[in-house]
Amino acid sequence: MLFNSVEFLLLFLPLTLVVYLRLSDARSALIWLSLASLCFYGYWNPIYLLLILTSVFFNFGLGKLIVSSEGRQKYWATAVGVAFNLGLLGYFKYANFFVNEVAYATGMDWSIDQIILPLAISFFTFQQIAYLVDGYQGKVEKHGIIEYVAFVTFFPQLIAGPIVHHRDMLPQFRSIERLRGLSGNLGIGLTIFAIGLFKKVAIADELALYANPVFDTALGGGTLSFAEAWGGALAYTFQLYFDFSGYSDMAIGLGQMFGLTLPINFASPYKARSIVEFWRLWHITLSNFLRDYLYIALGGNRKGDLARYRNLFVTMLLGGLWHGAGWNFVIWGGLHGFYLTVNHLWRALPFYKSISSGVTYSYASWGLTFLCVVIGWVFFRAESLDAALLMLTTMTGMAGIEVPGSVAAMMPEFLRDVVIAGPLFPNLRLGWEAAFGIMIIAGVIAFWAPNVFDLFHDRLGVEMNERVTYRPVRLTWQPSLSWALMAGVFISYCLLSLSEPSEFLYFQF
């Protein structure tokens, strides 16, 4: 069931919310919310309810054992729990990839049946690993099975994040306060949900019509022009941003409707002026997890700069592999590990502080950061290494530079003599002019517009977002007719556009 589907918007959400609001005590409401979340998860494939319930009850029981144990028993219980979770993730997500690569490398005729990746396994695995490790470190507060089930399965964040932490959610599930003042929460939540839905339907899905044919052509080894390659790369850059940012906004909005605060997962990452800043603003909950449970566990920066850069690179490499079982994701993660290493080395230079405060440096660093991110997304999106290299080769102009005829017509004559003019995507429903217009709108929103955290700063759990810097803006949410009309227009437009709702890109991870 998709957030942008008629079934969810007109049936599941209203029914779940109405029953939730009519229940008088917190425990009954929490049980209902957990049952509804399990129904939401089982809608895709009921058989995987056995998987998630097995994972939930195993980790809850083991967590209780870890908290009550001491010494080596505590250590081994934690190790068994982490191994169990990683084993499940490894089997379902990486078994086919591993067997195929070993067979290719050794020339052996090895193969296994295709394993279907269960939805959300990457997300609920990370949540529960953090829970067990924190239990080992004595950071888990007392809670019951109902709170734990709700923590893992809460449907707004279950499928594609944000990756919620037990310290943020379990106290909320235990508190009766979440059932008070819900009328105000509904207004806030519905507005944030409408913004996220509009990002997905009106921007991300439209850009997909432009990005997909370009990458499909590259995958098939077809010919792309310079303009096509850059247009496809930029279209995907903004498609992914508004698709995942839209989902994260919808998750936060849904949480608010139920009186629960989910952490901010995006804070205008394309405004970043360095790769370090980019990773503080993009998929914030994943960055926090990788920092707290992988980078620090590897040693962090405690053993000198060389070990620091090694740990950083390994963390990003594994972060890339978390996104999918493919060399393109490994390369993407390694590329960002390289970016971060270079960024830290640059900042360590003695003249860095003297040149980094100027306006020119600020714009140049923003442009370079965005360019590096776009290059990384080419590997992230391309379905093969050959397709990625074809895209990048064309984008560098090594295959020649060709621009659309409409653009060439506006050029001075001496420039027209050195370019080859031709039509761009004549067979697409979405033509070049429309795609270019949508990308301009997407760029304006991504580069300059306030984000949800800015607009709802005083209404959300600011203490849960320590890595996010608030940017004061005049336009902040108020319980007013204008905000209600905007939310109504966004939702109405999206409902009229949902003949064939598309999945969110991060569902595949």
Catalytic site residue from 143, 283, 323, 457 = 323
Give the three-state DSSP class for 494: helix
323 tagged catalytic: yes
Counting every residue written for the chain, the total comes to 509
Q: What residues contact 346, with CB distance under 8 A and at least 6 apart?
A: 352
121 phi/psi in degrees, rounded to 5? -65, -35
**In 288-441, where do the E strands start and end?**
402-404, 420-422
Nearest partner of 174 among 15, 26, 323, judged by Cα: 26
Give the three-state DSSP class for 122: helix
Measured torsion, CA atoms of residues 285, 287, 292, 295, in degrees rounded to the nearest 10: 160
Q: Which helix (H) or strand (E) holds 420?
A: strand 420-422
Asked if 217 and 284 touch (Cβ cutoff 8 Å), the reply is no
* Separation of alpha carbons 421 and 225, rounded Å: 10
**Which residues does residue 420 pair with via DSSP β-bridges, in sequence order?**
402
**Which residues does residue 421 pair with via DSSP β-bridges, in sequence order?**
403
* Separation of alpha carbons 148 and 16, rounded Å: 19
* Burial of residue 410, with CB atoms counted within 10 A of its CB: 0-12 exposed, 13-18 middle, 19 or more buried: exposed
* Separation of alpha carbons 161 and 159, rounded Å: 6
**Alpha-carbon distances of 268 from 6, 153, 244, 441, rounded to whole Å:** 29, 27, 12, 15
Tokens found for residue 197: 């839905």
Positions annotated as catalytic residues are 323
